[in-house]
């Protein structure tokens, strides 16, 4: 069986490597410097990946779908309409284009 190398032993990290390291660090509850030192890592590398993954609109943006009931008048002119199977339509007004794109990606991912 091939042994998997750790991120510390590799020159270039993959996104999966970085996510694993960040999850390990968060689980420890310690400082970044202490965590990095204990793993033989450079703190700046962890900070760089943390910023890169946090700024990226992915499934890790915390976007989740929950049941909701809309109360009140419907918007006269929605900015976007997302049509789902079974006749469900979501009308959006005032949402940023990046948020609408993240919602559409999540809906696509959730329906696969």
Alpha carbon of 80 to those of 34, 61, 89, 94, 109: distances in Å? 47, 21, 10, 9, 19
**pTM, rounded to two decimals:** 0.43
Same domain for 48 and 84, yes or no, is no
Same domain for 51 and 75, yes or no, is no
Question: Which residues make Cβ contacts (< 8 Å) with residue 31, sequence separation at least 6?
Answer: none
Which has more pLDDT, 70 or 13? 13
Could you tell me if 53 and 60 are in contact, meaning their C-beta atoms sit under 8 angstroms apart?
Answer: yes
Output the pLDDT for position 60.
46
Same domain for 52 and 66, yes or no, is no
Nearest to 52 by CA among 99, 98, 13: 13
The reply to whether 4 falls in a domain is no
The reply to whether 19 falls in a domain is yes
The reply to whether 97 falls in a domain is yes
The reply to whether 2 falls in a domain is no
Output the pLDDT for position 65.
66
Least confident of 14-28, 46-60, 72-86, 90-104: 72-86
Same domain for 35 and 20, yes or no, is yes
């Amino acid at each position: 069986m091939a042994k998997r190398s750790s991120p510390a032993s590799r020159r270039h990290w993959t996104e999966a490597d970085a996510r694993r390291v960040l999850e390990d660090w968060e689980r420890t509850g310690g400082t970044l410097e202490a965590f990095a030192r204990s793993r033989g890592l450079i703190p700046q590398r962890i900070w760089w990946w943390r910023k890169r993954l946090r700024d990226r609109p992915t499934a890790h943006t915390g976007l989740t779908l929950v049941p909701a009931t809309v109360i009140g008048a419907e918007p006269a002119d929605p900015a976007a309409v997302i049509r789902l199977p079974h006749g469900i339509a979501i009308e959006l007004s005032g949402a940023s284009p990046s948020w609408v794109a993240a919602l559409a990606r999540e809906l696509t991912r959730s329906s696969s």
